[in-house]
Amino acid sequence: MVVYTRASMRRVRNSIDCLIKDNGVRVSNDAGISNIVTQYLGNLFMASHTLAMEDVLEGVPSRVTEKMNNVFLCPLQRAGSG
């Protein structure tokens, strides 16, 4: 019975009682909380929320040297034609 009590207490401790929307409205019913979370997660990965790729890449160290990149950019040749 101890395990059940601990699991029950853990569920209560990990619950969301309410959320406050951007406009300050407090939502405490399950359907409202579910809608807010669904909208938040839906908007989280929208293209309008992404950073410019150049800004992201500034923090990534380069692994391809200029010489390597020039080789990659060369036109392809058929085998035995060069």
8 A C-beta contact, residue 27 and residue 19: yes
In sequence order, the β-bridge partners of residue 71 are none
pLDDT digits (tens, 9 = 90+) for 38-80: 988 888 777 665 567 778 788 888 888 999 999 989 888 777 7
Which residues, including other chains, have CB under 8 Å from residue 52's CB and lie 6 or more apart? none
Report if pTM > 0.85.
no
pLDDT digits (tens, 9 = 90+) for 27-42: 999 999 999 999 888 8
